[in-house]
Amino acid sequence: MRKWFVLAVLAAVALPAVAAQPATQPVPPAAKAAAPAAAANPFFAEWTTPFGVPPFGEIRVEHYLPAIKEGIARERAEVAAIAKNPEAPTFANTVAALDGVGEFLDRVDAVFYGQLSAESSPQLQAVAKEAAPLLTALGDDINLDPVLFARVKAVWEKREALGLTGEQKKLVDDAYQDFVRGGANLDAAGQARLRAINKELSLEGLKFGDNVLRETNAYRLVIDKPADLAGLPPGVVNAAAAAAKAAKLDGKWVFTLQAPSIWPFLQYADNRELRRQILTAYTTRCDHGDASDNKAVLAKLVALREEKAKLLGFATWANFVLDRNMAKTPDKVYGLLDQLWTPALAVAGREAADLQAAIAADGQEFKLEPWDWRYYSEKVKKARYDFDEEALRPYFRLENVRDGAFYVANKLYGITFTERHDIPKYHPEVRTFEVKDADGSFLGVFMTDYHPRPGKRGGAWSGRYRGQWFKDGKDIRPIVVNVCNFSRPAGDAPALLSLEEAETLFHEFGHGLHSLLSRVHYHGAARVPRDFVELPSQIMENWVLEPEVLKVYAKHWKTGEVIPAELVAKVERARKFNQGFATVEYLAASYLDMDWHTVTDATPRDATAFENAAMAKIHEPAEIVVRYRSPYFSHIFGPGGGYSAGYYSYIWAEVLVADAFQAFAERGIFDQATARSFRANILERPGTGDAMEAYVRFRGHEPSVQPLLVKRGLAPEPATAGRE
């Protein structure tokens, strides 16, 4: 089964697959009568656009709900035909047939939820609220159909004797587990309660996400005194002036809670009180006891999830989620976090002492607070390494960094990216590229959307407007999009990225490559464990500062000069600086996620008290705010809750990455044999077997946590041969 539509709103990678190219779908008898009346709706017509890309310019808000309802009707008819098939159940007429249903609905959902994330509006949010219970009911009706489950179970029970390929066997196992985890084995009362829970979960998740977007967009710090801009780099000031002009506040400067605005402000602004104001606004989003307060919403989500887990036979929601991840159990997740937490906390303590000393050296007597950390870290780094991150920006022009990512993909896999201006876009800032393999064959369409807008949710993600699979022997290629919130052009300068933004671009591009290079025969085979999915993305970050790559893309936007080697050397010397802070901030959020989802009863909790207790338990330093406080922790509480009991997966994947990149480092960063193995075992066949087995095929062994500890400066470098 592949009903991922709600999860896709949040998940970093998996927007649902949509219709094959060409986009015309067979219309089942039940739907034929509705088609003529909807002739003006683009979802009911063949898409004659290049590569079958959605005709975004023709799609209006009022088209979505009729198309969703029609898609639901069509999918019900397709599923009913499978259930009523008089022939004995086989892999082809049951499991493969189920994998193929719903192409029309998937096509609609992909566009709708893609736009809900990147171009949201109150009108789209209203459609989402009306559609959510309908889609949830469809999923429940399929999972709880006893005749359908009996057919799938019959195939599953004889799977070993069917001569299936590895991919087909995995599809059968997953289909059977989808039904079981969807409640197929529950009695009538249990199934009724599960339906009610699923409906509530979908609506509460949407409410949570809407509140976060509203609160994020509502705040702005308006500065009208030039003195209050002291310390801020010119590019940051120019961007704030542009934001003010867009808000019809000419002559002033506006800072927001969007990443390109708030983080540079906290890093450079001399005005401590303003730093306190903007960070407080950020960390108290949806926590004001008003209509946008999310504490009751998230408490309800946690209680519903716990009840659902118990109903399905799991001790906690985390046990339910992790059963399908590489980690398998909460104990293994906590075990990994604990291995990292103790050394990270020790390093963060030393960093805090250094910052307190810098405050004293500044002639100040106040105690280090969260709004001081980034500011004084920048001062200490500059003094210790003679390095200012702003010195990198002139060399990190957005388009050049993107081309650097393209260069890496070409050197590793031989693929090429050619910009096309005839492919439909959903916003003028979107750029579209035709992607070809080394042999010239078409791989897919790649779209980029890099700047913040009021309707775009925060963060960065990779999604799909069409997935990859085989239909009637034809390889249907994907339509992939990277969506980010990077610094805009300011003043006379183009968009210039920070190092972190450059790494984020490469990261999301890695997700994009995972989608573009996929070569599976069934939709369901593209699904991978949450704690594996970050491996293809995080490993790409390793190429950002490789000298061979830098000389291709890191060129001064005015002079064309390649970034000086001495500046890169400063970056490398400072790479482990402040890693105690970064690791503690992240791990605290991972602990918080796990604590919320290992509760063992469905009693709604006081969100503030629970969070405070969770942070006290791990001795979270007062100077470091958890990366995501509960009321705006959209990764785990937003639509779909894609990372619930799964936020740890970034660090889990980083353990894999630290080990995996050693293969490239040892043999050459563009070694073709290593690249072919990574493509074949990790990228092309993401869901055809056990994820750890796939990793071991690539690397030759399972990873350990030690390389990550060393990489982050949380453990000493290993002694080299010959060293005394």
pLDDT at 27: 37
Each residue's pLDDT tens digit, 213-243: 999 999 999 999 999 999 999 999 999 999 9
| Same domain as 435, residue 497 | yes
Mean pLDDT for the stretch of residues 455-461? 91
Mean pLDDT for the stretch of residues 445-473? 94
| Same domain as 590, residue 450 | no
Q: 624 lies in a domain?
A: yes
Active-site positions read 508
Q: 239 lies in a domain?
A: no
Q: 699 lies in a domain?
A: no
Is the pLDDT score of 479 beyond 80? yes
| Same domain as 616, residue 525 | no
pLDDT at 458: 86
Instruction: Name the least confident of 4-18, 56-70, 539-553.
Output: 4-18
Q: Which of 213, 236, 268 is the last residue of a domain?
A: 213
- 559 burial via Cβ count (<10 Å: 0-12, 13-18, 19+): exposed
Mean pLDDT for the stretch of residues 693-712? 90
| Average pLDDT of the residues of the chain | 92
Domain total in the chain = 3
| Same domain as 170, residue 30 | yes
Is the pLDDT score of 631 beyond 90? yes
Each residue's pLDDT tens digit, 617-627: 999 999 999 99
Each residue's pLDDT tens digit, 87-141: 999 999 999 999 999 999 999 999 999 999 999 999 999 999 999 999 999 999 9
Is the pLDDT score of 159 beyond 90? yes
| Same domain as 467, residue 361 | no
Report yes or no: 134 and 142 within 8 Å, Cβ to Cβ.
no
Report the C-alpha gap between 47 and 68 in whole angstroms: 17
Is the pLDDT score of 16 beyond 80? no
Q: CATH number for the domain including 626?
A: 1.10.1370.10
CB atoms inside a 10 Å sphere around CB 10? 25
Report the C-alpha gap between 260 and 660 in whole angstroms: 31
Reported confidence tier of residue 199, pLDDT bands at 50, 70, 90? very high
| Same domain as 435, residue 356 | no
pLDDT at 34: 43
Report yes or no: 554 and 505 within 8 Å, Cβ to Cβ.
no
Q: 377 lies in a domain?
A: yes
Is the pLDDT score of 196 beyond 80? yes
Q: 689 lies in a domain?
A: no
| Same domain as 412, residue 344 | no
pLDDT at 721: 40
Q: 559 lies in a domain?
A: yes
| Same domain as 504, residue 485 | yes
Q: Which of 160, 185, 213 is the last residue of a domain?
A: 213
Of 157, 112, 156, nearest in space to 134 by CA = 112
Reported confidence tier of residue 552, pLDDT bands at 50, 70, 90? very high
The pTM score is 0.89
189: CB partners within 8 A, 6+ apart: none
Whole domain around residue 193: which residue ranges?
A: 7-213
Q: 330 lies in a domain?
A: yes
Report the C-alpha gap between 50 and 444 in whole angstroms: 11
Q: How remote is the C-alpha of 407 from its chain's centroid?
A: 23
Q: CATH number for the domain including 133?
A: 1.10.1370.40
Report the C-alpha gap between 329 and 315 in whole angstroms: 11
Reported confidence tier of residue 10, pLDDT bands at 50, 70, 90? very low
Give 536's DSSP letter: H
Reported confidence tier of residue 9, pLDDT bands at 50, 70, 90? very low
Mean pLDDT for the stretch of residues 246-250? 95
Reported confidence tier of residue 573, pLDDT bands at 50, 70, 90? very high
| Same domain as 163, residue 31 | yes
User: Which contiguous run of DSSP H or E holds residue 469?
Assistant: strand 469-471
| Same domain as 474, residue 373 | no
| Same domain as 598, residue 476 | no
Each residue's pLDDT tens digit, 351-367: 999 999 999 999 999 99
| Same domain as 470, residue 354 | no
Give 9's DSSP letter: G
Each residue's pLDDT tens digit, 681-692: 999 976 677 899
Q: Which of 556, 573, 590 is the last residue of a domain?
A: 573
User: Which contiguous run of DSSP H or E holds residue 343?
Assistant: helix 330-361
Q: 268 lies in a domain?
A: no
